[in-house]
A and B are shown apart, each in its own frame.
Chain A
């Protein structure tokens, strides 16, 4: 089949899976199977009406950028780094408009949408603008700009290109700031600010940059632009905006790769930031907002129905390739006297740099004397090189005033269940071995770390670990009603000094209790004792239990009545059964003690009750249902995760406070912590990669052109240093509703909704939680339909959504089908409670696959998949989660961040089975947990590489189980894997298209009701 002739703006792409051409609209990346008849959208085709009324939005910038991406079948990396030529095409397209002034540039390309031609002309006409750019004529004001704040002169040229290109080009094209960029920049500097988020400013940029800003300011010679700027100094319309592209979801396959897309970048007004460092705004993995352009009034926010919230992951792990957080070590900390915010790249220096004006409350503060001083060399230093003026995320080393007491050492107490079941399942042995192997990796750089071990069955067993001796002794306390420490010393010991004793205990722990025949567990009293042991210092209690606590305080009953499941009473099973867990967790939070829970059980463990402890003390729950260490997969999973948790650096005795510009107030907090004051979150320890959601309220109308949100985490590092981690993000404000919609971040919204849904499920009913999610989505889309589209009449056949929220319905449908919320009477309450724990703590990056699993087809993956590419192992393109994609002869991989399922079709050819599993044919293959053999053939190595990459690519400690699922055997496992294919209909839950129809009906119905 030869490539068919296409109208302008379309490209044909061969899809190997479907054996036919796929037609891609190069402007906005809509793809279709039918051969297009009209020109592409940018050239006036369907969708050119996609611009919201009244906004000066530009019909492409960011959507366009990524959209050159090919269809699923090609290498995903190309999506992010299109070729240099393309980038130039963008810049040049802009150039046309810039030189020709309004009118020349667009021609047919603009469509009806550009209301401020000056601003938006640059992008609109790609389809025809390519290749015919006239000579650049914009006069360049060459005088070097002498501005005190260098950041005011931001990279024009680059900004423009990035603005047009959605910011993906810079890293790939460092040499990009060529002459063409110059000419463009003068006019369109509104987009400059983009550059702060995106990388790759060469040092040489500085000069050019200044020229541009001057041009922008004196821009009389480029009439359209200059005016646009001058007339709307405050309104965001003048600062460039995200385009609002309408999309009808009905009948459209959700485009899964877009899940990994970055949120719309906050487009800050020019001069907002005094630094031209791209990292001046905190990266969205640290802090992201649900809306990247904050509405100026509460009523506007209320009208859009989009929740305003901040998603934080302050203690994010730094993986390979990530920039480490810069540290300011000279303890010169400049803070605003009134609002106590920390100095950041968005302040302004006044009076010749002697004072600075706070960007949140506008108070002028003195610059500290030593601000321009390098105390290591004792010489004056350049303040512009200070990290806090250049980076959105910095760590200050805190002086004495920030300490209540000297930095505490990290303390770990292990409470290990040694009752019969725990020993038999091999949990005790595995745990002891893991601790033993991890002793070197536990944060202990200054040799102060303390460790204690407590074994518990129906009595408490203390281990006396005297320093320097290798013969520990065991003290047994069987009185569980009255908690006391049998010995004042040697129970909590220095890890380095008492190493031999600790090793000896751990080595023999499992043997000591081999004969254990007790079935009860006095976990409550044991944890109380542990708390007593470390209460004066604070630290971590790590509890490993395989039995339901049945003795002493905090005793629980097996309350999982199968009759209750699936009814409205089910949510009572998700609440704590005993008040002890709440009061004890408060007690722990107060004494800076965190409880981590590792739960192993074949039967009911009441995760819901035990989860309370980590919930309020900043810990985490790890749950291993049906753990059995004789299965090597179970043992490896637990040992890997446990080891990672132990070895990860933690922050101790932390408080988190979020400050915002005047008019913003933090109103609600979600996550694992204890709220100590109206806006102060306290965490005994900050675990790595845990996320918190904070809702914001607009109390007073915002008058500034941009607002700043700053999160400060005061903590003690596990290396004995008091530090403040400050994360600053600036967001533009806007008065336009379309701008709010266009800059909404669907992933952040879903993170917040999942937090709220979990709380809803616990406080009322699961059904209410599901409804809350659906209603929120319906509300948002309804408002969008009513205000942003020319909707005529109530119910229509379309469900129109903004392009940047197009996956929100998919994620919402994934959430109501998620094991945490699904309507079913089969899901054990333990699994639900564990899912809730994850849903409310996972950072967005890990939450997305947890809600919407990744689905790869391995038998026909592209040649480069599974090999090592530029960014590590290349993953195959992810597929839509529908069983239509499953082929009878295929091999598929489904993973949700917790488990990996390897689906083998029943007609899998023996060669495939041989290559991957080293078995002669499909019949020999057994389903269940599996360790893939590494074989001497390229396919096996590639599959193994993909599995390994899947296990390590996200920022979390989880090591996914690999299950082999045979298409025609083991119905339970098969159904489990199929339940992850969320676009399908599974028992009572609706398929994605049914869900969309439901949403569409609700959007329509409500509208007519309003009209009556």
Chain B
């Protein structure tokens, strides 16, 4: 899912560059992008929720501000791209996309790292392999301790 978010951002940025180079009409652009805005936000919110429920505090805290930002955007009703204003706000949109891209990239590798860590420690401790992102250091230690017992 993190990978999907990553790709969506890359897609957004490519589209914005297209617009700047006049390859695409702002109306088409906004129609296209607007279909992805909400799914992207929902996916991100869902992921964050998972972190919260499974107690992945670090990941949750990293993602929470972005969720808040998105919710705020929806509440003030400017989450959609507006074809009439797009050129005035283009630089802002691009900046936002790059920041999101960076965030997603970092967190993607972090999740990957955590997953591998979980797999390794899971194997080492002969614990059941936990699904992606559902592990936590403390849990692993607990498992480890239990196994030792």
A and B physically associate = yes
**A contacts, CB < 8 Å to B:** 582, 585-586, 589-590, 616, 668-669, 674-678, 680
Contact A678 B27 (CB under 8 A): no
CB of B21 to closest CB in A, whole Å: 9
Q: Find chain A residues with CB under 8 A from B25 CB.
A: 590, 676
Contact B20 A616 (CB under 8 A): no
- The CA-CA distance from A616 to B26 in the complex, in Å, is 13
Give the contacts of B54-86 with A (CB-CB under 8 A). 82-84, 86
Residue of B nearest to A669 (CB): B87
Contact A616 B87 (CB under 8 A): no
Q: Find chain B residues with CB under 8 A from A589 CB.
A: 27
- The CA-CA distance from A680 to B26 in the complex, in Å, is 11
Contact B84 A678 (CB under 8 A): no
Contact B88 A668 (CB under 8 A): yes
Q: Find chain A residues with CB under 8 A from B27 CB.
A: 586, 589-590
Contact B22 A678 (CB under 8 A): yes
Contact with A along B77-102 (1 / 0, CB 8 A): 00000111011101000000000000
Q: Find chain A residues with CB under 8 A from B26 CB.
A: 675-677
- The CA-CA distance from A617 to B58 in the complex, in Å, is 50
- The CA-CA distance from A674 to B88 in the complex, in Å, is 12
- The CA-CA distance from A674 to B87 in the complex, in Å, is 10
Q: Find chain B residues with CB under 8 A from A680 CB.
A: 22
Asked whether A582 and B22 contact (CB < 8 A) given A590-B27, A668-B88, A675-B87, the answer is no
Residue of B nearest to A763 (CB): B85
Asked whether A675 and B22 contact (CB < 8 A) given A586-B27, A590-B27, the answer is no
Asked whether A582 and B84 contact (CB < 8 A) given A590-B27, A676-B25, A676-B26, the answer is yes
- The CA-CA distance from A674 to B26 in the complex, in Å, is 10
Q: Find chain B residues with CB under 8 A from A669 CB.
A: 87
Residue of B nearest to A615 (CB): B84
- The CA-CA distance from A616 to B82 in the complex, in Å, is 12
Contact A675 B20 (CB under 8 A): no
Pull 18 A–B residue pairs with CB atoms less than 8 Å apart, ordered by A: A582-B82, A585-B84, A586-B27, A586-B83, A586-B84, A589-B27, A590-B27, A616-B84, A674-B83, A675-B26, A675-B87, A676-B26, A677-B22, A677-B26, A678-B20, A678-B22, A678-B90, A680-B22
CB of B79 to closest CB in A, whole Å: 12
- The CA-CA distance from A678 to B86 in the complex, in Å, is 9
Contact A678 B83 (CB under 8 A): no
CB of A112 to closest CB in B, whole Å: 47
Q: Which 7 A-B pairs have the closest CB atoms?
A: A677-B22, A675-B87, A586-B83, A616-B84, A590-B27, A586-B27, A678-B87
Q: Find chain B residues with CB under 8 A from A675 CB.
A: 26, 84, 86-88
CB of A232 to closest CB in B, whole Å: 39
Other A-B contacts than A676-B26, A678-B20, A678-B90, 9 sampled, CB-CB below 8 A, are: A585-B84, A616-B84, A669-B87, A674-B83, A675-B26, A675-B87, A677-B19, A677-B87, A678-B22
- The CA-CA distance from A668 to B86 in the complex, in Å, is 12
- The CA-CA distance from A669 to B26 in the complex, in Å, is 15
Contact A674 B22 (CB under 8 A): no
- The CA-CA distance from A677 to B20 in the complex, in Å, is 7
CB of B19 to closest CB in A, whole Å: 8
- The CA-CA distance from A668 to B89 in the complex, in Å, is 10
Q: Find chain B residues with CB under 8 A from A582 CB.
A: 82, 84
Q: Find chain B residues with CB under 8 A from A668 CB.
A: 88
Q: Find chain A residues with CB under 8 A from B20 CB.
A: 678
Candidates B19, B84, B90; contact of A674 at CB < 8 Å: B84
Q: Find chain A residues with CB under 8 A from B90 CB.
A: 678
Residue of A nearest to B20 (CB): A678
CB of B94 to closest CB in A, whole Å: 12
Residue of A nearest to B22 (CB): A677
CB of B53 to closest CB in A, whole Å: 35
CB of B18 to closest CB in A, whole Å: 11
- The CA-CA distance from A582 to B85 in the complex, in Å, is 11
Residue of A nearest to B77 (CB): A579
Q: Find chain A residues with CB under 8 A from B83 CB.
A: 586, 674
- The CA-CA distance from A589 to B84 in the complex, in Å, is 10
- The CA-CA distance from A790 to B27 in the complex, in Å, is 54
Residue of A nearest to B86 (CB): A675
Residue of A nearest to B25 (CB): A676
CB of B17 to closest CB in A, whole Å: 12
- The CA-CA distance from A659 to B19 in the complex, in Å, is 19
CB of A237 to closest CB in B, whole Å: 37
Residue of B nearest to A587 (CB): B27
Q: Find chain A residues with CB under 8 A from B87 CB.
A: 669, 675, 677-678
Q: Find chain A residues with CB under 8 A from B86 CB.
A: 675
CB of A659 to closest CB in B, whole Å: 14
- The CA-CA distance from A680 to B88 in the complex, in Å, is 13
Residue of A nearest to B24 (CB): A677
**Most interface-central of A616, A678, A680 (chain B CB within 10 A):** A678
Residue of B nearest to A670 (CB): B88
CB of B126 to closest CB in A, whole Å: 58
Residue of A nearest to B90 (CB): A678
Residue of A nearest to B85 (CB): A675
Q: Find chain B residues with CB under 8 A from A676 CB.
A: 25-26
**Most interface-central of A589, A668, A675 (chain B CB within 10 A):** A675
- The CA-CA distance from A585 to B88 in the complex, in Å, is 18
- The CA-CA distance from A668 to B27 in the complex, in Å, is 19
- The CA-CA distance from A676 to B20 in the complex, in Å, is 11
CB of B46 to closest CB in A, whole Å: 27
CB of A607 to closest CB in B, whole Å: 18
Contact with A along B19-35 (1 / 0, CB 8 A): 11010011100000000
- The CA-CA distance from A680 to B83 in the complex, in Å, is 14
- The CA-CA distance from A404 to B8 in the complex, in Å, is 34
CB of B142 to closest CB in A, whole Å: 52
CB of B10 to closest CB in A, whole Å: 22
Q: Find chain B residues with CB under 8 A from A586 CB.
A: 27, 83-84
- The CA-CA distance from A668 to B88 in the complex, in Å, is 7
- The CA-CA distance from A586 to B28 in the complex, in Å, is 11
- The CA-CA distance from A560 to B22 in the complex, in Å, is 41
CB of A470 to closest CB in B, whole Å: 42
Q: Find chain A residues with CB under 8 A from B22 CB.
A: 677-678, 680
- The CA-CA distance from A585 to B86 in the complex, in Å, is 15
CB of B147 to closest CB in A, whole Å: 59
CB of B30 to closest CB in A, whole Å: 8
CB of A665 to closest CB in B, whole Å: 13
CB of B5 to closest CB in A, whole Å: 27
- The CA-CA distance from A616 to B83 in the complex, in Å, is 10
Residue of B nearest to A612 (CB): B84
CB of A657 to closest CB in B, whole Å: 11
CB of A614 to closest CB in B, whole Å: 13
CB of A238 to closest CB in B, whole Å: 39
CB of A833 to closest CB in B, whole Å: 17
CB of A699 to closest CB in B, whole Å: 14
Residue of B nearest to A585 (CB): B84
Residue of A nearest to B26 (CB): A676
- The CA-CA distance from A67 to B127 in the complex, in Å, is 96
- The CA-CA distance from A589 to B26 in the complex, in Å, is 11
CB of A541 to closest CB in B, whole Å: 18
- The CA-CA distance from A585 to B82 in the complex, in Å, is 12
Residue of B nearest to A677 (CB): B22
- The CA-CA distance from A295 to B19 in the complex, in Å, is 31
Q: Find chain B residues with CB under 8 A from A585 CB.
A: 84
CB of A363 to closest CB in B, whole Å: 21
Residue of B nearest to A589 (CB): B27
CB of A860 to closest CB in B, whole Å: 51
**Most interface-central of B82, B83, B88, B90 (chain A CB within 10 A):** B83
Residue of B nearest to A673 (CB): B84
- The CA-CA distance from A668 to B87 in the complex, in Å, is 8
CB of A681 to closest CB in B, whole Å: 10
- The CA-CA distance from A574 to B26 in the complex, in Å, is 25
- The CA-CA distance from A678 to B88 in the complex, in Å, is 9
CB of A176 to closest CB in B, whole Å: 49
- The CA-CA distance from A582 to B19 in the complex, in Å, is 20
- The CA-CA distance from A223 to B25 in the complex, in Å, is 60
CB of A538 to closest CB in B, whole Å: 15
Q: Find chain B residues with CB under 8 A from A674 CB.
A: 83-84
